[in-house]
Structure 1
Amino acid sequence: MSAAERTGWLPPRWVKWLAWKIHRGIYNRSGGRLGLSLPRDDEHYGTLHLTVPGRRTGEPRGVILGYFEDGPNLVTMAMNGWEDPEPAWWLNLQAHPDAEVVVADGKRPVRGRAAEGEERTRLWARWQQIDKHLDAWAARRSKPTAVVILEPR
């Protein structure tokens, strides 16, 4: 096994930033018609658009995230491209837990929270089915990566 396979190689930060910017641009320019997808099975996550008020300004802030469904809940991770610090959307959601998501099949009002204990362990294991490098990538961060649950309101 090569070093890249053991550590879960990631592209440079500027490549990730550019990819996120292009993805958001496609979503915004298409009026939300392109850029989102539903999870296909236990091995493919979907993409959603989360809108949460900014913690300082109160202005709506949007981000596109990967997710899977756990019953009525949507589950994502506060990973910031597997680098420090915490992503701004997660800090905003902690300050203002009520948010809105748009998934490929419509809008949903949600309340965000971090999974803890056994629930976090179970959901982390589900992410490992989707992403084989999950533990290696999470080890790059100085803090544990939050597993975020978006519950229907």
Structure 2
Amino acid sequence: MKIGPETRAGRLAQRFSLHPMFQRFGPSIVPPLDRALHKVSGGRLMIGQMMLPMVMLEHTGARTGQPRRTPLATMPDGEGYWLVGSNYGRSGHPAWTANLLAHPDVAVTHRGKRRELRARLVDGAERDEIWPRLTTFWPGYAAYAKMNDPTLDGGRVLRVFRLDPR
């Protein structure tokens, strides 16, 4: 069975991911399912792969120092990856972004292959340059950014990270 954003199921999943009901309940349901599926498949499968390439990000908690595992959509690029802290369009930065700011040495598993990388926050001109590629790759990022308009009270700029080999 073929999966990915270009399939009929992938396009349907993309539309569904922007639905208010998904945004309310998806964040508490999908990541635990992705972690379980990732574990039983040896790192090769996650639900989110119907929409986008996925990685399992291994990172360290900013406050606790405890290891964390977070399934995330990614845009692979050469030897590295791009990650967007969209938080499913909800307000507030996702916890994993604070963890990367505090502890940038991470590992990812992508398609069953584990790699050690270093994360860095991308902002300013570099962020402006990559943002159109990211929103073309996954139009949901543009919708999520609009939901979090930084000019409005409680709004924020979605954090963008580049992960490169250490």
TM-score, normalising length: structure 2: 0.75
Q: Kindly report the root-mean-square deviation, in angstroms, between the aligned alpha carbons of the 2 structures.
A: 2.3
- Structure 1 stretches of at least 4 aligned residues deviating more than 4 Å after TM superposition: none
1:90 & 1:101 partners in 2: Cα distance? 15
Give the number of equivalent residue pairs.
142
1:92 & 1:82 partners in 2: Cα distance? 19
Q: 1:113 aligns with which of 115, 120, 133?
A: 120
Is the 1:37–1:48 Cα contact (8 Å) retained in structure 2? Answer: no
Unaligned runs of 5+ in 2: 1-14, 149-154
Does residue 129 of structure 2 align to residue 130 of structure 1?
Answer: no
Q: 2:89 aligns with which of 82, 90, 103?
A: 82
Unaligned runs of 5+ in 1: 39-43
Is the 2:43–2:112 Cα contact (8 Å) retained in structure 1? Answer: no
Q: 1:103 aligns with which of 96, 110, 131?
A: 110
Is the 2:43–2:110 Cα contact (8 Å) retained in structure 1? Answer: no
Match for residue 161 of structure 2? 148
TM-score, normalising length: structure 1: 0.80
Deviation string for 1:48-67 (max 9, x for gaps)?
01101111221110001111
Against the structure 1 CA distance between its residues 105 and 149, is the aligned structure 2 distance closer, same or farther, given a 3 Å change threshold? same
Counterpart amino acid of residue 36 in structure 2: G
Structure 1 residue 133: deviation in Å? 4.0
**Percent sequence identity over matched residues?**
30
Structure 1 residue 138: deviation in Å? 0.9
Counterpart amino acid of residue 80 in structure 1: N
Is the 2:86–2:144 Cα contact (8 Å) retained in structure 1? Answer: no
Deviation string for 1:64-119 (max 9, x for gaps)?
11111223221010111111221111111111011111111511111111112222
